Amino acid sequence: MHYQSTRGYASSSDSSVGFSEILLGGLAPDGGLYLPKSYPQVTADELNAWRSLSYADLSYEVLRKFATDIPEADLKAITHKTYTAEVYKNARPGESAQAITPLRTVVEQDGRKLVLQALSNGPTLAFKDMAMQLLGNLFEYALAKNGAELNIFGATSGDTGSAAEYAMRGKKGIRVFMLSPHQKMSAFQTAQMFSLQDPNIFNIAVEGVFDDCQDMVKAVSNDLEFKSRHKIGTVNSINWARVVAQVVYYFRGYLSATTSNDQKVSFTVPSGNFGNICAGHIARMMRLPIAQLVVATNENDVLDEFFRTGVYRVRKSAETYHTTSPSMDISKASNFERFVFDLLGGDHARVKALFAKVETHGGFDLSGQAGSDGDEFKKVAEYGFVSGKSVHADRLQTIRKVEKEFGLTVDTHTADGIKVALEHWREAETMIVLETALPAKFNETIQEALGRDAERPVGFENIEALPQRFEVMPADVQKMKAYIAQHTGL
């Protein structure tokens, strides 16, 4: 399996970039995102054989199609080390921790089902653990093999940061520098990150919004000399290995919800940075029988606007709302470029030009209207994408409805997903909503909606009271580089 950048790097027929080469890097040298030169195809016989596999073995079977330069025995050992009931122990009552991503039918009526897929049973109670735990073990394996070090530089709107830090804490040869928007995460999310005292973890609270943090990560990644000298890698969803790890749970969700390969299911995914649902797009491109991929946004509805109109219009920092589903408070979706590359038929030059226009003009237009940049919006339906939006009043109403009618408490982002899923739920369809976090992470809104605290898994009872260690810094790339240089000693 060989990889290319969405903007053209390594795209020639004789160029060869492998999985291990891009594992530690993040952005390609030309600023684009890595994708396989062709998506591996999954056969009906393989799907049948995979139905009875454990999550660890399913992960191995999917990953071996992409990580062809890692010995199969090593890859299998890594997936079995990662996906254990001990690591994913925070299952709800009645759910199997051994299943890793158990399904729960919320409502079944008139031949159709609405199902939640639990992705939040890991150590930080968020779906980011599904990929990050694997990434931590892959990084440790690759670094040990080469006797190397890695300085991870990432940005978080709430959940990526803690998932990365919990996955990388104590890992030999790894330091983590994690940016987050100052005072714009929930109290639980903040405490989960800032209470870590491990010497290889550096938390930086940036005076700005998530997009400011993300822009600095991209700026540092695009400084190839600095990136090389300071051994910079990334765990944000621009990292290809993280996206591939997320592909696995789409296969698991489909196989758990169906009995034969002639059945289709749809997935609704709360989405801000387009990483989670990009994995669903890749699974569909691999021929997983997915009918609809439903993008659910919050008040920061950049993606919903595109999937309704064909116009991708990035908001400025001052136009980005601070909401009660803060992990989606994103107005520049990093992974969106991967889908646009496929939508444009793999035209590197056009992708490069369109995302250059994002930087100069704040977006692009594929609606086909007069003066637009193209008419590819008409092809979006071929990829199964539809979308919707949920705001604060919607998520409060959904949290109350799900609690009252189904006896289940959901977090704010999952509530956004359920609200939008119900708008697109079709006759005789199984709609799987990806649960993105446990409600304890957003207790302030649970209190507002239900008048009580969310239940907390054992070990998280008083996390907000723990001592916190972090630095507050401006959104200044040069100061950030100086901080990294100071603490890496390179």
Q: Which residues are catalytic?
A: 128
Query: Tokens 């302030």 correspond to what residue?
Result: 444
> Within its chain, how far is the Cα of 331 from the centroid?
15
- Residues 6 or more apart whose CB falls under 8 angstroms from that of 482 comprise none
CA atoms within 13 A on the CB side of 361: 12
| The three-state (H, E, C) secondary structure of the chain, written as one string | CCEEECCCCCCCCCCCCCHHHHHCCCCCCCCCCEEECCCCCCCHHHHHHHCCCCHHHHHHHHHCCCCCCCCHHHHHHHHHHHCCCCCCCCCCCCCCHHHCCCEEEEEEECCEEEEEECCCCCCCCECHHHHHHHHHHHHHHHHHHHCCCEEEEEECCCCHHHHHHHHHCCCCCEEEEEEEECCCCCHHHHHHHHCCCCCCEEEEEEECCHHHHHHHHHHHHHCHHHHHHCCEECCCCCCHHHHHHHHHHHHHHHHHHCCCCCCCEEEEEECCCCHHHHHHHHHHHCCCCEEEEEEEECCCCHHHHHHHHCEEECCCHHHCCCCCCHHHCCCCCCCHHHHHHHHCCCCHHHHHHHHHHHHHHCEEECCCCCCCCCCHHHHHHHHCEEEEECCHHHHHHHHHHHHHHHCCCCCHHHHHHHHHHHHHCCCCCEEEEECCECHHHHHHHHHHHHCCCCCCCCCCCCHHHCCCCCEEEECCHHHHHHHHHHHHCC
- Tokens for 319, please give them: 């136009």
Let me know the angle formed at the C-alpha of 192 by 188 and 196, rounded to the nearest 5 degrees. Answer: 150
* DSSP strand pairing (232-233 vs 201-207): unpaired
DSSP annotation string for 409-471: ---HHHHHHHHHHHHHPPTT-EEEEEP-B-GGGGHHHHHHHHSSPPP--TT-TTGGGS----E
